[in-house]
């Protein structure tokens, strides 16, 4: 978890730096072009993996035939998906009425080949919990990609700077993992192995596909009914919000999925893991999202300049959905780990159909505001459904999980209301207002934690290896 945290937060810092610099060198139109194509890229990537990556991790002892079979499946699907994107590129650019998108999609689509070549190696490293290598490669790649992208943006390459960034982020890990992991595919394709993994992976694939489509539906609708600049403002708000709401949960869930799979027969152990994870994530993420919501304007002006002011209302609304989004995967992963992939797909299909109806209805009735409101309602709806599934299949009852989350939720809301009230009464300028709101929130939230010492606070503190740190300090003092 420490290595995954280093990876995530190092990348987060790099992305912040990237966002600050590139927001001044590139335009909302450039970001909008990439955002419009996201739905086609993520759907193609979903077809390549086909849920088999999760199936290989879920299977306790995969064989060489299993790995080789899925490798050749990935390679074959990457050729098929790229051919479809290449042929459909003119129609997609016509759909958005932006001719440039045809060439952009055809070049960016090369990522699919690169991705297919390292899916197996990446999954092998995750299964062995070798997050150290994954973290080092990821952070190094981000630094290299950022450097190249900034140079290209400075030279006036526009959207091609972002395309190159995506290609580099895919290519470097693929090369490193290919030479570091000694595994090589055999010239074999085992139908029995494929069918075995397919029985689990197929439903994982469908789940992943439906999730990805729904996550990108806003971009598709905004790109079609508005313009590239509006899409750019939304993309910047969305990426900034995801940087915060995903930062903690992705670190923990990336590590815990292989562990869930190992203890899938011990429901009590899984209940304890879910409880600790949800309470720890909420304790850290809830205050983070509220602070970002309260201080959105000074943060955006400071980081991205006045050019991105139109992103702020989008960002604030998305922060509300981020409160629920950060907890979704913790619950859903357990359903996958115990092998209930069919159940997971059926409920995912129901959830995402409801979300699409709400979002499209909101857009039709109230425009952009309705779309964003629909996104928030849908995100919270998904969280409560996931809690219900865990209650049924794992035994961690829904009312117990809500009861465990309630203290953090109430403390976060109270701190936010007091902080907002102080800012409203003092009526300070932009940056002083942000600083005061942040300090007031921090004082109330940490004060509540130190005085009452809630369970979530204890779980969060327990992650920090205080005893090891003290032991090392003691040894250093002795040696000195």
Query: pLDDT of 108-117, one tens digit each?
Result: 888 888 888 8
For the record, the structure tokens of 323 come out as: 């409160």
Residues 92-100, mean pLDDT to the nearest whole number? 86
Tell me the per-residue pLDDT of 396-425, one tens digit each, with 9 for 90 and over.
Answer: 999 999 999 999 999 999 999 999 999 999
**Which range is most confident: 124-133, 164-173, 184-193, 439-448?**
439-448
| Helices 100-108/159-180 angle, 10° precision | 10
Cα 410 to Cα 222, 415, 425, distances in angstroms: 34, 9, 23
Q: How far apart are CA 354 and CA 352, in angstroms?
A: 5
Q: Which residue has the higher pLDDT, 297 or 185?
A: 297
HSE of 62, CA atoms in CB hemisphere, 13 A = 26
Confirm whether pTM is higher than 0.75: no
What is the pLDDT, as a whole number, of residue 182? Answer: 76
For the record, the structure tokens of 220 come out as: 């598709």
pLDDT-derived band at 65 (thresholds 50, 70, 90) equals confident
Per-residue pLDDT at 469 exceeds 50: no
3-state secondary structure the chain: CHHHHHHHHHHHHHHHHHHHHHHHHCCHHHHHHHHHHHHHHHHHHHHHHCCHHHHHHHCCCCCHHHHHHHHHHHHHHHHHHHHHHHHHHHHHHHHHCCCHHHHHHHHHCCHHHHHHHHHHHHHHHHHCCCHHHHHHHHHHHHHHHHHHHHHHHHCCCCHHHHHHHHHHHHHHHHHHHHHHCCCCCCCCCCHHHHHHHHHHHHHHHHHHHHHHHHHHHHHHHHHHHCCHHHHHHHHHHHHHHHHHHHHHHHHHHHHHHHHHHHCCCCHHHHHHHHHHHHHHHHHHHHHHHHHHHHCHHHHHHHHHCHHHCCHHHHHHHHHHHHHHHHHHHHHHHHHHHCCCHHHHHHHHHHHHHHHHHHHHHHHHHHHHHHHHHHHHHHHHHHHHHHHHHHHHHCCCCHHHHHHHHHHHHHHHHHHHHHHHHHHHHHCCCHHHHHHHHHHHHHHHHHHHHHHHCCHHHHHHHHHCCHHHHHHHHHHHHHHC
Across 140-149, 215-224, 280-289, 465-474, least confident range: 465-474
Q: Which residue has the higher pLDDT, 201 or 373?
A: 373
Per-residue pLDDT at 478 exceeds 70: no
Residues 116, 80 contacting (CB under 8 angstroms): no
Tell me the per-residue pLDDT of 172-190, one tens digit each, with 9 for 90 and over.
Answer: 888 888 887 777 888 887 7
Q: How far apart are CA 270 and CA 292, in angstroms?
A: 32
Residues 124, 183 contacting (CB under 8 angstroms): yes
pLDDT-derived band at 170 (thresholds 50, 70, 90) equals confident
Q: Which residue has the higher pLDDT, 390 or 66?
A: 390
Residues 29, 229 contacting (CB under 8 angstroms): yes
pLDDT-derived band at 96 (thresholds 50, 70, 90) equals confident
Q: Which residue has the higher pLDDT, 263 or 348?
A: 348
Residues 78, 112 contacting (CB under 8 angstroms): yes
Per-residue pLDDT at 159 exceeds 80: yes
Residues 457-469, mean pLDDT to the nearest whole number? 72
Residues 168, 141 contacting (CB under 8 angstroms): yes
Across 199-203, 234-238, 241-245, 368-372, least confident range: 199-203
**Mean of the per-residue pLDDT values for the chain?**
83
Tell me the per-residue pLDDT of 42-57, one tens digit each, with 9 for 90 and over.
Answer: 777 776 665 566 666 6
Across 49-53, 62-66, 131-135, 316-320, least confident range: 49-53
**Which range is most confident: 269-273, 319-323, 332-336?**
319-323
φ, ψ (nearest 5 deg) of residue 266 = -110, 90
């Amino acid at each position: 978890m420490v290595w995954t945290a280093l990876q995530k937060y190092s990348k987060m810092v790099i992305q912040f730096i990237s966002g600050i610099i590139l927001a001044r060198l590139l335009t909302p139109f450039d970001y909008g072009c990439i955002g419009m194509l996201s739905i086609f890229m993520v759907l193609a990537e979903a077809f390549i993996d086909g849920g088999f990556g999760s199936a290989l991790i879920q299977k306790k002892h995969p064989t060489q035939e299993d790995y080789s079979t899925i490798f050749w499946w990935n390679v074959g699907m990457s050729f098929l998906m790229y051919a479809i994107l290449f042929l459909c590129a003119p129609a997609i650019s016509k759909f958005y009425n932006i001719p440039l998108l045809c060439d952009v999609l055809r070049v960016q689509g090369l990522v699919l080949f690169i991705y297919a070549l390292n899916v197996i190696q990446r999954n092998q490293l995750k299964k062995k919990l070798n997050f150290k290598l994954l973290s080092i490669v990821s952070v190094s790649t981000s630094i290299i990609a950022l450097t190249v992208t900034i140079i290209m943006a400075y030279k006036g390459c526009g959207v091609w700077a972002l395309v190159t960034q995506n290609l580099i982020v895919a290519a470097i890990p693929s090369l490193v993992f290919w030479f570091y992991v000694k595994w090589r595919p055999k010239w074999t394709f085992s139908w029995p192995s494929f069918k075995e993994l397919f029985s689990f992976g197929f439903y994982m694939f469908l789940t992943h596909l439906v999730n990805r489509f729904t996550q990108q539906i806003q971009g598709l609708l905004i790109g079609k009914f508005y313009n590239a600049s509006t899409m750019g403002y939304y993309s910047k708000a969305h990426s900034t919000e995801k940087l915060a709401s995903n930062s903690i949960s992705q670190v923990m869930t990336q590590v815990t999925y292989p562990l869930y799979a190992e203890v899938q027969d011990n429901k009590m152990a899984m209940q304890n893991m879910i409880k600790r994870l949800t309470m720890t994530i909420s304790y850290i993420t809830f205050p983070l999202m509220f602070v970002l919501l309260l201080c959105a304007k000074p943060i955006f002006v400071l980081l991205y300049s006045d050019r991105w002011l139109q992103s702020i209302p989008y960002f604030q609304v998305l922060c509300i959905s981020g409160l629920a989004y950060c907890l979704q995967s913790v619950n859903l992963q357990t359903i996958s780990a115990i092998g209930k992939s069919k159940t997971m797909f059926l409920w995912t299909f129901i959830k995402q159909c409801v979300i699409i109806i709400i979002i499209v209805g909101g857009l039709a009735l109230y425009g952009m505001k309705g779309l964003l409101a629909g996104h928030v309602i849908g995100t919270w709806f998904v969280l409560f459904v996931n809690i219900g599934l865990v209650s049924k299949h794992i035994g961690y009852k829904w009312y117990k999980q809500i009861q465990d989350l309630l203290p953090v939720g109430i403390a976060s809301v109270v701190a936010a209301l007091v902080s907002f009230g102080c800012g409203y009464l003092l009526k300070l300028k932009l940056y002083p207002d942000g600083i005061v709101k942040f300090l007031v929130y921090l004082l109330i939230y940490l004060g509540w934690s130190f005085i009452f010492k809630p369970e979530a606070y204890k779980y969060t503190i327990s992650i920090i290896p205080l005893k090891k740190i003290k032991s090392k300090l003691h040894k250093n003092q002795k040696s000195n």
